[in-house]
Chains A and B, each alone.
Chain A
Amino acid sequence: MYIGPLALNKKNLPLIDNVVINLEKPIYHLWGKNGVGKSTLIKLILADCIEKKIRFAFMDQNYRTSWLWWMKIEENLDLITGNIHSGKKFIELDIYNRQQSWIKPLLSKIVAQYDFSKGNEIQSAGVSGGQLQRLIFLRELIAKPEIVLLDEAFSALDIEVVEDVISWLLEEQKRLDFKIVNICHDKRIIELMKGKVIVLDTEGTPKKLTLTEMSYEEMV
């Protein structure tokens, strides 16, 4: 899968000049120091997906706010299932059969509710952080993405929970065959997920973004 050419010429940001990324492997991590342009690059990848009509899923560290908190979990999942799988219900999908053990008890629940006493604040209601993240992955996977873009999506969770979620995600990746592009600052996550690393750096004046593909071992 080819992404690009990507280009950006904005003040205070490194110049991105016709960058093309060839995603041959299933997993890529974007690695680089703060401010180098990782998030900018992933947004450009996202825009490219929209333009080329590549089905994508995007998740950043604020992924919780993208949950439709006013609906029951089942309604949430049914909404996307109906759209993508021509009117089907979530429980009619194969993925439901595979994940029944943990998803079934959650279906009639709500993920969060508004706390009126605290004003503009969403309170978690009976669903843990790990469950919610897995739910959101599940929701995105229903949309049959060709590429999953993650921008520090695991940063709010404990590493034990992350391990659990990642192993689950990788299992689903084998079945559904999608690419993952992940931004992270934690080498443990790269270790868990394996895959290739794209190191981002800048050179020249004005600063120009450079991408170097390597293995995790090489990077270390």
Chain B
Amino acid sequence: MKKWYSFGLIISLFVTVWQSFFYLGYINKAFLPSPLNILEVFFNKSFWLLFAIDLFTTFSNICIGVVIGYFIVYTLLIISFYSSFFAYFIRFINTILKYIPLPALIPIGILFFGLSSAVNIFLVALATFTILLQHNFSLIEKEEKAYEFVRISWVITPWQRFWKFLFPMSNYLGYRVIPTLIIWVLSIEVIVEMILGGKSGIGVRLLQFQQLYKTGELYSYLLLIIGITFLFELVIIQAFSRFIWDIKKATIWIILITLIFVSAGSYLSSFSFFSKKRVIVTYSATANLPLMVYIKKFNSLNFSLVQTGSGLQAMDTLQAGKADIAGFIDMPNALTGIEKNSKLRMVAQLVESPSSPSLFLIGKKVNSLDNLKGLENSIVGYYPNNSLIKSGLDFSLFKSGVNTSNITYTSSNDPLSLVQSIKTGFIESFLGPEPFVSDIENELGISRVNKDKSLVQGVGFKNLPLASLVIDTSKFSESEKKDVLDGINQSIDYIRNSTGSDGRANSELSSILKDYEINQKSVISKYQNYSEIDADETKKLIDLINLYDPNSALKSSTFDVSKYYIYP
């Protein structure tokens, strides 16, 4: 009792200090929410629905993977008892797996299974396999060895050795590995979800919360995960100890729990907004204004919007057939994706024109195009993470006589991490689009270098395509395709009509921006519908990318540029 009392006291003290520090302004909300923020989140019903969906999605994968891994381990061990050659083989596999960090096998999983939940299940099964195999080998070498002579004098068969000796012993002593197993499979599942993206899952949501700065939700999730993992471990260990004398009951319970998670996961997924609707997949809402407008105002085909961790991930999701539309994907990724999958086509673009800058440079050591030399010997972060935007900057800098070899460039899939990095001082300057630049302006009180001047003037483009909306044509009938194109066109027109001469949204558009928590001070980017797209500009762009980033190796000479677009 005293122990719990002291524990409660420490927790209360900790929370009080945390809240006070927050109240006194010592804690930045961008890093850590206040305890009250977290409490507020816990009172939100939709948060719990989201958490339930994510939890069951994640645990469905985990349960299926664990059951598969469990059965594979014991099947192989049975075979190894019959064949000494196979036993050596399994030991060899065990030795190899022991020394491979499991997350390093994620690319192998993606190679084998593509961007599907099969990757999650495969890796969870592999983690279970590795951990249980080591557990069983340790038993064979220690505890089970005590029965060595007994097995001989009793004329024990290989099957009896497994079913009467190793298997029960392994299960009853399972409490030794259960905590390790739970934390490993959960880690693997969450990491894979973060990498693959998708509609739901704890990993998907955590990354999304980070990218949208929903710190209250982020920390609430972490707290809930701690609680659930703890309870889960307790329940499983208890279950193993209670059913210690009845292996059949234990097996039935494992299968039952798996079925509960799998069916609840699919049930929750089906009734929620992640039902079998058509899916538009995007990176953060901020770069995809026409899509936001489309969903709100012209969504005749009843699309749902799903966010992923990055533009590259959104493109991968589209390529894997898990979405119908992806946008707005930065051009190099969009072009590479279409080259790989001929059913994909671009239908609209976000461009930068000399009169309408979309890319902005902002930094602590530079405040105008005249003192760009301030960038030398500093770190510049750029987004999207491809050569296009960097080369745009380089062209401008060449004209200003800046020695670019003295600049350290860094980039990321996630612009918000770059924004955060400039706030924390890790990088000095940022080159990227709205609304991230506005965020930095507002937070740090510094101005962008090129307020009215496009950074890519030096490249000689009329309109430099920066990002594109890509559609999977195989998913739509001709009339549906027309519906989508018309809807996107209407959305772009709506944005134009709702934007003032200063490039900012009027009140009606502002309300849509607000719904998506987009910075309302942002300057609206310039969008082109399919009738305005100039394929020659794209060809020039491909040459530019190939010049500055040969690894991209886009097929400018062999691939007809018009094939990138739905209507050339």
Contacts and interface: CB of A to CB of B under 8 A. Distances in A.
A65 interface: yes
A84 B150 contact: no
A80 B153 CA distance: 9
Interface string B4-45: 000000000000000000000000000000000000000000
A114 B154 contact: no
Given A58-B149, A62-B146, A114-B172, A83 B245 contact: no
Nearest to B241: A116
B494 interface: no
A61 to B, nearest CB: 12
A99 interface: no
Interface stretch (B162-170, B330-338, B469-477): B162-170
Nearest to A144: B153
A84 B154 contact: yes
B128 to A, nearest CB: 22
Contacts of A143: 153-155
Contacts, number: 54
Nearest to B143: A65
Contact of B150 (A46, A66, A72, A110): A66
Contacts of B155: 83-84, 143
Interface string A43-82: 0001000100001111000100110101110000001100
A65 B245 contact: no
A110 B245 contact: yes
Contact of B164 (A66, A79, A113): A79
A133 to B, nearest CB: 15
B153 A58 contact: yes
A55 B176 CA distance: 36
A140 interface: yes
B74 to A, nearest CB: 16
Interface in B224-238: 237
Interface in B120-172: 143, 146-147, 149-150, 152-157, 160, 164-165, 168-169, 172
A129 interface: no
A156 B154 CA distance: 25
B209 interface: no
Interface string B233-257: 0000100010011000000000000
Contacts of A57: 153
B154 A46 contact: no
Nearest to B237: A116
A113 B241 CA distance: 10
A16 to B, nearest CB: 20
A66 B149 CA distance: 9
Given A79-B164, A114-B241, A116-B237, A66 B146 contact: yes
Contact of B160 (A65, A79, A145): A79
Contacts of A70: 168-169, 172, 244-245
Nearest to A113: B244
B153 A145 contact: yes
Contacts of B152: 50
B86 interface: no
B173 interface: yes
A120 B174 CA distance: 11
B81 interface: no
Contacts of B168: 70-71
A71 B164 contact: yes
A79 B153 contact: no
Nearest to B164: A79
Given A70-B172, A114-B172, A65 B146 contact: yes
Contacts of A65: 143, 146
Interface in A125-167: 140, 143, 145
A84 B169 CA distance: 23
Contacts of A46: 149
Nearest to B246: A70
Nearest to A81: B154
Nearest to A59: B149
B161 to A, nearest CB: 11
Contacts of B241: 114, 116
B70 interface: no
Contacts of A66: 146-147, 149-150
B565 interface: no
B175 interface: yes
Contacts of B164: 68, 71, 79
Enumerate the 5 nearest inter-chain pairs by beta-carbon distance, A residue then B residue, closest first.
A65-B146, A70-B168, A58-B149, A116-B241, A80-B154
Given A66-B150, A71-B168, 13 more contacts: A46-B149, A50-B152, A57-B153, A66-B146, A70-B169, A70-B172, A71-B164, A80-B154, A83-B155, A84-B154, A114-B173, A116-B241, A143-B155
13 contacts: A55-B153, A58-B149, A66-B150, A68-B147, A70-B168, A80-B154, A83-B154, A83-B157, A116-B237, A116-B241, A120-B173, A140-B153, A143-B155
